[in-house]
């Protein structure tokens, strides 16, 4: 039996829960969970905001731990190896997207906490392709958030061939945004942080921002019109998107990795005349995850975390819900 923490109903308190995992699949691995980050997506799933949650619901998709068991056909992982697991736990491995290395775009990709039990547990299972070995030089306690928040903001850098000479803006200096600043700074970009909290400027600059823009100041926003090759939105609130589109250079891109609650509305003319674009992306493929881990290790990039024990899981969720997290929360056994 696997021991976990589960909500039995929508928005419910997490309580001790046990389940029988059944025989291990031939290409699957079982991970002894050491640490598991808490992501805002865990809260969204807990409250069934996206209409896909099944109860009992075990959150947790930023897992770091050691391989406890492997299926008979597993080739790349060994028992005792420290690994990480993120949002995805499986994909079909045969469609055109999996076969072209874009496993994260597989139409039948399986979420670690969608229709199955996640990492708020003593063990969790996944297909070996989606389980990544942790570099020896990486701190395991802070690595978990890289497997969701980290790859979410790293993936666009690779997908859109962001160059070290590019000017990039990051909207929101929170769980996703603070990692985006660190990655983009190490990539060599000229990085600007957009935030509605003026008191975050010293922290944003310490994280790698070359410039800070108070998004509540219309004059500050006006002053950077036509400035950016890429603006990465990490927030989950509605903003005046036409203002940010105006801040793009010709061929610039406003890219969403944060899930805003309402449809995006903007005039099309500013897009057409300057060949600007609006886009979004999910987490990255297994290959991009490995690339991110190598890059993070080389440049000593790690998320800023707070830790709670697994027994404090409900306190930790409330800490995130109240907006007090600085900047990612990690549960530890």
Backbone phi, psi, residue 191, to 5°: -110, 130
Round the average pLDDT of the chain to a whole number and report it.
Answer: 97
What's the rounded Cα separation, in Å, for the pair 77 and 139? Answer: 19
What's the rounded Cα separation, in Å, for the pair 82 and 66? Answer: 4
Check residue 281 and give its pLDDT: 97
Check residue 168 and give its pLDDT: 98
Residue 202 has a CB neighbour count (10 Å cut-off) of: 9
Check residue 273 and give its pLDDT: 97
Q: What is the pLDDT of residues 200-254, one digit of tens each?
A: 999 999 999 999 999 999 999 999 999 999 999 999 999 999 999 999 999 999 9
Task: Mention every residue, 6+ apart, whose C-beta is less than 8 A from residue 243.
Answer: 221
Residues of the chain with pLDDT under 70: none
Task: Mention every residue, 6+ apart, whose C-beta is less than 8 A from residue 101.
Answer: 285, 287
What's the rounded Cα separation, in Å, for the pair 173 and 207? Answer: 10
Enter the tokens of residue 39: 């992501």
Check residue 91 and give its pLDDT: 98
What's the rounded Cα separation, in Å, for the pair 254 and 248? Answer: 8
């Amino acid at each position: 039996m696997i021991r976990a923490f589960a909500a039995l109903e929508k928005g419910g308190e997490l309580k001790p829960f046990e389940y029988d995992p059944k025989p291990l699949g031939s290409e699957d691995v079982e991970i002894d969970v050491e640490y598991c980050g808490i992501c805002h997506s865990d809260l969204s799933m807990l409250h069934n905001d996206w209409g896909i949650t099944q109860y009992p619901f075990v959150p947790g998709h930023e897992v770091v731990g050691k391989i406890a068991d492997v299926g008979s056909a597993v080739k790349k992982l060994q028992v005792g190896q420290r690994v990480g697991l993120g949002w995805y736990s499986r994909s079909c491995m045969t469609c055109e997207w999996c076969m072209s290395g874009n496993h994260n775009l597989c139409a039948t990709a399986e979420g670690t906490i969608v229709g199955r039990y996640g990492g708020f547990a003593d063990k969790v299972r996944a297909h070996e392709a989606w389980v990544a070995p942790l570099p020896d030089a990486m701190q395991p306690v802070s690595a978990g958030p890289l497997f969701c928040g980290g790859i979410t903001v790293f993936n666009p850098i690779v997908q859109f061939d962001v160059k070290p000479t590019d000017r990039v803006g990051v909207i929101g200096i929170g769980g996703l945004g603070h990692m985006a600043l660190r990655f983009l700074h190490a990539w060599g970009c000229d990085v600007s942080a957009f935030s509605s909290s003026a008191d975050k400027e010293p922290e944003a600059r310490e994280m790698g921002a070359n410039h800070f823009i108070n998004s509540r100041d219309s004059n500050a926003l006006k002053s950077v019109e036509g400035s950016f090759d890429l603006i990465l939105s990490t927030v989950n609130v509605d903003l005046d998107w036409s203002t940010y589109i105006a801040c793009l250079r010709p061929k610039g891109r406003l890219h969403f990795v944060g899930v805003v609650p309402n449809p995006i509305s903007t005039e099309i003319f500013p897009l057409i005349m300057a060949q600007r674009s609006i886009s979004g992306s999910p987490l990255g493929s297994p290959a991009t995850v490995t690339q991110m881990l190598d890059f993070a290790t080389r440049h000593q990039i790690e998320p800023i975390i707070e830790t709670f024990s697994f027994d404090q899981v409900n306190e930790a969720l409330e800490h995130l819900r109240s907006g007090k997290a600085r900047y990612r929360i990690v549960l530890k056994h």
